[in-house]
Amino acid sequence: MLRVGVIGCGYWGPKLIRNFMTCSETELMWACDVDEKRLDKISSLYPGVQRTTQLDDLLADTGLDGVAIATPVNTHFPIAKACLISGKHVLVEKPLASSVQEGEELVQIARKNNLQIMCDHIFCYTGAVRKIKEVIQSATLGELLYFDSVRVNLGLFQPDVNVVWDLASHDISLVDYLVDEKPVLVSAHGVSHTNSNIENVAYLTLRYESPFIAHFHVNWLSPVKIRMTMIGGSEKMLVWNDIDEAEKIKIYDKGIKVKERDLEQRERLLVSYRSGDMHAPRVDRTEALALVVKEFADCILHKRPALTDGEAGLRVLRILEAADLSMKAGGSSAAINYA
Amino acid sequence: MLRVGVIGCGYWGPKLIRNFMTCSETELMWACDVDEKRLDKISSLYPGVQRTTQLDDLLADTGLDGVAIATPVNTHFPIAKACLISGKHVLVEKPLASSVQEGEELVQIARKNNLQIMCDHIFCYTGAVRKIKEVIQSATLGELLYFDSVRVNLGLFQPDVNVVWDLASHDISLVDYLVDEKPVLVSAHGVSHTNSNIENVAYLTLRYESPFIAHFHVNWLSPVKIRMTMIGGSEKMLVWNDIDEAEKIKIYDKGIKVKERDLEQRERLLVSYRSGDMHAPRVDRTEALALVVKEFADCILHKRPALTDGEAGLRVLRILEAADLSMKAGGSSAAINYA
Amino acid sequence: MLRVGVIGCGYWGPKLIRNFMTCSETELMWACDVDEKRLDKISSLYPGVQRTTQLDDLLADTGLDGVAIATPVNTHFPIAKACLISGKHVLVEKPLASSVQEGEELVQIARKNNLQIMCDHIFCYTGAVRKIKEVIQSATLGELLYFDSVRVNLGLFQPDVNVVWDLASHDISLVDYLVDEKPVLVSAHGVSHTNSNIENVAYLTLRYESPFIAHFHVNWLSPVKIRMTMIGGSEKMLVWNDIDEAEKIKIYDKGIKVKERDLEQRERLLVSYRSGDMHAPRVDRTEALALVVKEFADCILHKRPALTDGEAGLRVLRILEAADLSMKAGGSSAAINYA
Amino acid sequence: MLRVGVIGCGYWGPKLIRNFMTCSETELMWACDVDEKRLDKISSLYPGVQRTTQLDDLLADTGLDGVAIATPVNTHFPIAKACLISGKHVLVEKPLASSVQEGEELVQIARKNNLQIMCDHIFCYTGAVRKIKEVIQSATLGELLYFDSVRVNLGLFQPDVNVVWDLASHDISLVDYLVDEKPVLVSAHGVSHTNSNIENVAYLTLRYESPFIAHFHVNWLSPVKIRMTMIGGSEKMLVWNDIDEAEKIKIYDKGIKVKERDLEQRERLLVSYRSGDMHAPRVDRTEALALVVKEFADCILHKRPALTDGEAGLRVLRILEAADLSMKAGGSSAAINYA
pLDDT grade for C48, boundaries at 50, 70 and 90: confident
Contacts of A71 (CB under 8 A, 6+ apart): A7, A8, A10, A79, A93
Residue B207, min C-alpha distance to chain C (Å): 31
Best to test chain B binding among A147, A221, A225, A250 (most B CBs inside 10 Å): A221
pLDDT grade for D257, boundaries at 50, 70 and 90: confident
Q: Give the C-alpha separation, A278 to B39, whole Å.
A: 40
Residue D174, min C-alpha distance to chain A (Å): 24
Interface contact A280-D277, CB threshold 8 A: yes
Residue D224: closest CA among chain B residues belongs to which residue? B246
Is the pLDDT confidence value at C185 over 80? Answer: yes
- Comparing CA positions, the residue from A338, A339, A325 lying closest to residue A187 is A325
What size, in residues, is chain D? 339
State the CB neighbour count (10 A cutoff) for residue B108.
13
Residue B244, min C-alpha distance to chain D (Å): 10
Best to test chain C binding among A43, A44, A152, A222 (most C CBs inside 10 Å): A44
Residue B185, min C-alpha distance to chain C (Å): 36
Domain check: are C190 and C292 in the same one?
Answer: no
Q: Give the C-alpha separation, C129 to C133, whole Å.
A: 6
* Angle at the Cα of D234 from the Cα atoms of D231 and D238, rounded to 5 degrees: 25
Interface contact C237-D222, CB threshold 8 A: yes
Interface contact C191-D146, CB threshold 8 A: yes
Is the pLDDT confidence value at C271 over 80? Answer: no
Residue pair D4/D31 in contact (Cβ under 8 Å)? The answer is: no
Contacts of C211 (CB under 8 A, 6+ apart): C145, D191, D192, D193
Interface contact D189-C194, CB threshold 8 A: no
Four-residue CA torsion sign, B6, B10, B16, B22: positive
pLDDT grade for C258, boundaries at 50, 70 and 90: confident
**C194: which chain D residues are within 8 Å (Cβ-Cβ)?**
256, 258, 269, 271
Residue B46, min C-alpha distance to chain C (Å): 35
**C253: which chain B residues are within 8 Å (Cβ-Cβ)?**
282
Q: How far is CA C260 from CA B121, B209, C306, D155, D159, in A?
A: 46, 61, 45, 19, 14
- Comparing CA positions, the residue from C322, C331, C326, C309 lying closest to residue C176 is C309
Interface contact B45-D45, CB threshold 8 A: yes
Domain check: are A254 and A170 in the same one?
Answer: yes
pLDDT grade for D196, boundaries at 50, 70 and 90: confident
Is the pLDDT confidence value at C269 over 60? Answer: no
Four-residue CA torsion sign, C296, C298, C302, C306: negative
Q: Which pTM was predicted?
A: 0.94
What size, in residues, is chain A? 339
Residue D162: closest CA among chain C residues belongs to which residue? C269
In-domain check, residue D75: yes
Nearest to C280 among B277, B281, B282 (CB): B277
Domain check: are A43 and A74 in the same one?
Answer: yes
Residue pair A137/A238 in contact (Cβ under 8 Å)? The answer is: no
Residue A62, min C-alpha distance to chain C (Å): 28
Q: How far is CA C8 from CA B47, B50, C94, C287, in A?
A: 82, 86, 13, 21
What is the structure's pLDDT at B261?
52
Q: Is C89 exposed, middle or buried (0-12, 13-18, 19+ CB in 10 A)?
A: buried
In-domain check, residue A314: no
What is the ipTM, given to two decimal places?
Answer: 0.94
**B278: which chain C residues are within 8 Å (Cβ-Cβ)?**
247, 279-280
Residues of D with CB under 8 A from a CB of A: 247, 250, 253, 275-282
CA B17 to chain centre: 20
In-domain check, residue B314: no
Residue D134, min C-alpha distance to chain A (Å): 15
Is the pLDDT confidence value at D88 over 80? Answer: yes
* Chains in contact with A via at least 3 Cβ–Cβ pairs below 8 Å: B, C, D
Q: Is D112 exposed, middle or buried (0-12, 13-18, 19+ CB in 10 A)?
A: exposed
Interface contact C331-D207, CB threshold 8 A: yes
Domain check: are A91 and A173 in the same one?
Answer: no
- How many beta-carbon contacts under 8 Å exist across C and D? 165
What is the structure's pLDDT at A44?
81
Residue B246, min C-alpha distance to chain D (Å): 8
Domain check: are A105 and A130 in the same one?
Answer: no
Q: Give the C-alpha separation, A125 to C215, whole Å.
A: 44
Phi, psi of C153 (to 5 degrees): -175, 175
What size, in residues, is chain C? 339
Q: Give the C-alpha separation, B135 to B248, whole Å.
A: 14
- Would you give the end-to-end CA distance of chain A in angstroms? 38
Best to test chain C binding among D271, D273, D327 (most C CBs inside 10 Å): D271
In-domain check, residue C314: no
Interface contact A247-D278, CB threshold 8 A: yes
Nearest to C246 among A47, A224, A246 (CB): A224
Is the pLDDT confidence value at D260 over 70? Answer: no
Domain check: are D134 and D238 in the same one?
Answer: yes
Q: What is the mean pLDDT of chain C?
A: 94
Per-residue model confidence as pLDDT tens digits over D264-312: 444 445 677 888 999 999 999 999 999 999 999 999 999 999 999 999 9
Calculate mean pLDDT across residues C227-239.
97
Per-residue model confidence as pLDDT tens digits over B258-273: 765 544 444 445 677 8
What size, in residues, is chain B? 339
In-domain check, residue A313: no
H/E/C letters for each residue in A191-202?
ECCCCCCCCCEE
Instruction: Write the Ramachandran bin of B139: left for phi over 0, alpha for psi from -120 to 50, otherwise beta.
Output: left
Is the pLDDT confidence value at A36 over 90? Answer: yes
CA A6 to chain centre: 20
**D282: which chain A residues are within 8 Å (Cβ-Cβ)?**
253, 275-278
Best to test chain A binding among D134, D230, D277 (most A CBs inside 10 Å): D277
Residue D260: closest CA among chain C residues belongs to which residue? C195
Residues of D with CB under 8 A from a CB of B: 45, 47, 224-225, 246
pLDDT grade for A266, boundaries at 50, 70 and 90: very low
Q: Give the C-alpha separation, D4 to D22, whole Å.
A: 13
Is the pLDDT confidence value at A121 over 90? Answer: yes
- Comparing CA positions, the residue from A321, A309, A308, A335 lying closest to residue A102 is A321
Is the pLDDT confidence value at C17 over 80? Answer: yes
What is the structure's pLDDT at C260?
56
- How many beta-carbon contacts under 8 Å exist across A and B? 165
Residue D248, min C-alpha distance to chain B (Å): 14
Q: What is the CATH number of the domain that holds D28?
A: 3.40.50.720
Domain check: are C102 and C140 in the same one?
Answer: no
- Among residues of chain B, what percentage have pLDDT more than 70? 96
Domain check: are A150 and A50 in the same one?
Answer: no
User: Which structural domain, as residue segments, surrounds residue D264?
Assistant: 124-285+319-335
Q: Give the C-alpha separation, C9 to C32, whole Å.
A: 7
Is the pLDDT confidence value at B146 over 50? Answer: yes
Q: How far is CA C49 from CA C4, C18, C21, C43, in A?
A: 11, 12, 10, 7
Residue pair A29/A5 in contact (Cβ under 8 Å)? The answer is: yes
* Chains in contact with C via at least 3 Cβ–Cβ pairs below 8 Å: A, B, D
Interface contact D221-C252, CB threshold 8 A: no
What is the structure's pLDDT at C44?
82
Domain check: are A220 and A294 in the same one?
Answer: no
The pairing of beta strand A117-120 with beta strand A89-93: parallel
Contacts of C52 (CB under 8 A, 6+ apart): C30, C31, C32, C39, C58
Is the pLDDT confidence value at C39 over 60? Answer: yes
Domain check: are D148 and D69 in the same one?
Answer: no
Residue D281: closest CA among chain A residues belongs to which residue? A277
Per-residue model confidence as pLDDT tens digits over B20-70: 998 999 999 999 999 999 999 998 878 889 999 999 999 999 999 999 999
Residue C46, min C-alpha distance to chain A (Å): 8
Interface contact D47-B45, CB threshold 8 A: no
Q: What is the CATH number of the domain that holds A204?
A: 3.30.360.10
Calculate mean pLDDT across residues B91-113.
97
**D246: which chain B residues are within 8 Å (Cβ-Cβ)?**
224-225
In-domain check, residue D154: yes
What is the structure's pLDDT at D267?
45
**B276: which chain C residues are within 8 Å (Cβ-Cβ)?**
282
Q: How far is CA A196 from CA A73, B233, B257, D241, in A?
A: 18, 18, 13, 48
Q: Is A86 exposed, middle or buried (0-12, 13-18, 19+ CB in 10 A)?
A: middle
Best to test chain A binding among C17, C18, C43, C44 (most A CBs inside 10 Å): C44
**A254: which chain B residues are within 8 Å (Cβ-Cβ)?**
154, 223
Q: Give the C-alpha separation, A76 to A69, whole Å.
A: 7
Residue C246: closest CA among chain B residues belongs to which residue? B278
Give start and end residues of each alpha helix (H) in chain B. 13-22, 36-45, 55-60, 73-85, 100-112, 127-137, 163, 169-178, 288-301, 310-328
Residue pair A28/A49 in contact (Cβ under 8 Å)? The answer is: yes
Residue pair B160/B73 in contact (Cβ under 8 Å)? The answer is: yes
State the CB neighbour count (10 A cutoff) for residue B331.
26
Give the SS3 label for residue A113.
coil
What is the structure's pLDDT at B156?
83
Is the pLDDT confidence value at C267 over 70? Answer: no
What is the structure's pLDDT at A160?
82
pLDDT grade for C265, boundaries at 50, 70 and 90: very low
What is the structure's pLDDT at B265?
47
Domain check: are A154 and A267 in the same one?
Answer: yes
Calculate mean pLDDT across residues A26-51.
93
In-domain check, residue B41: yes
Interface contact B279-C277, CB threshold 8 A: yes
Residue B148, min C-alpha distance to chain A (Å): 9
For the CA atoms of C76, C78, C80, C81, what is the dihedral angle to 10 degrees? 150
Calculate mean pLDDT across residues D155-174.
93
State the CB neighbour count (10 A cutoff) for residue D24.
8
- Comparing CA positions, the residue from B24, B19, B64, B17 lying closest to residue B39 is B17
Four-residue CA torsion sign, C20, C24, C25, C28: positive
Q: How far is CA B3 from CA B27, B83, B297, C301, in A?
A: 5, 14, 9, 83
pLDDT grade for A269, boundaries at 50, 70 and 90: low
Give start and end residues of each alpha helix (H) in chain D. 13-22, 36-45, 55-60, 76-85, 100-112, 127-137, 163, 169-178, 288-301, 310-328
In-domain check, residue D313: no
Nearest to C47 among A47, A225, A246 (CB): A47
Four-residue CA torsion sign, A164, B225, B250, D226: negative
Give the SS3 label for residue C284.
coil
- Comparing CA positions, the residue from D117, D113, D68 lying closest to residue D86 is D113
Domain check: are C93 and C225 in the same one?
Answer: no
Q: Give the C-alpha separation, B309 to B117, whole Å.
A: 6
Phi, psi of D150 (to 5 degrees): -120, 120
CA B93 to chain centre: 9
Total structural domains within chain C = 2
Contacts of D309 (CB under 8 A, 6+ apart): D116, D117, D118, D119, D299
pLDDT grade for D195, boundaries at 50, 70 and 90: confident
Contacts of A286 (CB under 8 A, 6+ apart): A127
**A268: which chain B residues are within 8 Å (Cβ-Cβ)?**
159
